[in-house]
Structure 1
Amino acid sequence: MSPEGEWQAPEGSWASSAARRRNMQAIRSRDTRPEILIRRLVHAAGLRYRVAARPLPDLRRTADMVFRPAKVAVFIDGCYWHGCPEHYVPPKTNSGYWSDKVTRNVKRDRETDQILKETGWLVLRFWEHEPSDSCAHKIVLTVLERRGHRLARGN
């Protein structure tokens, strides 16, 4: 706060205004609508999983859904924050900062994929705009297959 009682962005802050700061703070990092829909469908199919968990204890990254025995990590990526090739639109204000942030997020995503793959995990990534039922179907089939279940043809 300034001496006059007005909000001021700290030096080097990403928030260009108090309203922008409130808006950015309101964005969820977990339990988004697409995540909840997919989780409900997967749960209804009888699978259990960890939510917002680290697949590897020493890896400071969390997956949206973790199936530990099957070694499957599921990420439901937001179109803006993860640079969706279909829906990402560069911001009009402070574009350098936000574009760099999204680029770092994408780089970290690829690094996470590689680390998990090297340790025997299978990574499933979905965009938030993909149909929840098809995402859930793929998750269920993949986890059951990794658990060694025989799947009937046509599933």
Structure 2
Amino acid sequence: MTDTLTKEQRSRTMSRIRSKWTSQEKKMHNYLKAKKIKHKMHPKIRGSPDSLIYETNTAVFLHGCFWHKCPKCYNEPKSHKDYWLPKIERTVKRDRENEKILKEQGFKVVKIWEHEIKKDAKSCISRLVKKL
């Protein structure tokens, strides 16, 4: 499929995509902060969780449904499969390795999927807090 954007337009669009401080991460941060739950977003520890909740030693990952192959709503790409499928499989493998590393360090690991937080962020994050 031919790209419908010019090289400059595509470059500008791609430059705006961020891996940190996504809207879901901001929602979670604001909720935890409002509940006065001590946490750190993007802690620099092995395993790279999106958030670390100190009181319960819990590492939290906010996974995008496409990128991390959500078991509930992942749709396999229809084009460029030779590129996308290995890339997504590498991400899933890295997720498993990161989870193992964090558990070996004594952390509880919690995954929140993009579709869960988009559907109802407040109840999704409050369920997380109740699990703590």
Question: TM-score when scaled to structure 1?
Answer: 0.68
* SS of match in other structure, 1:112: helix
Q: What residue is the counterpart of 1:142 in the other structure?
A: 131
- 1:84-122 per-residue CA deviation (whole Å, 9 max, x = no partner) reads 133323334422111111111111111111111122100
Q: Is 1:128 paired with 2:114?
A: yes
Separation (CA, whole Å) in 2 of partners of 1:33 and 1:49: 17
Percent identical across equivalent pairs? 37
Q: What residue is the counterpart of 2:33 in the other structure?
A: 43
* SS of match in other structure, 1:83: coil
The 5-angstrom pairing of residues 64-103 of structure 1 reads 64-103=50-89
Letter in structure 2 aligned against 1:133: K
Q: Is 1:28 paired with 2:18?
A: yes
Cα shift at 1:78: 0.7
* Higher Cα radius of gyration: 1
Whether the 8 Å CA contact 1:38–1:135 is kept in 2: the answer is no
**Larger % of helix: which?**
2
Cα shift at 1:20: 4.8
- 1:50-78 per-residue CA deviation (whole Å, 9 max, x = no partner) reads 11113x3xx2x421111235311111111
Structure 1 spans left out of the alignment, 5+ residues: 1-16, 144-155
Structure 2 spans left out of the alignment, 5+ residues: 1-5
Separation (CA, whole Å) in 1 of partners of 2:87 and 2:10: 16
Question: TM-score when scaled to structure 2?
Answer: 0.79
- 1:125-154 per-residue CA deviation (whole Å, 9 max, x = no partner) reads 0101113123311332233xxxxxxxxxxx
* SS of match in other structure, 1:63: coil
Letter in structure 2 aligned against 1:34: Q
Q: What residue is the counterpart of 2:3 in the other structure?
A: none
Pick from 95, 99, 103: which aligns with 1:117? 103
Whether the 8 Å CA contact 1:80–1:88 is kept in 2: the answer is yes
Q: How many residues align?
A: 123
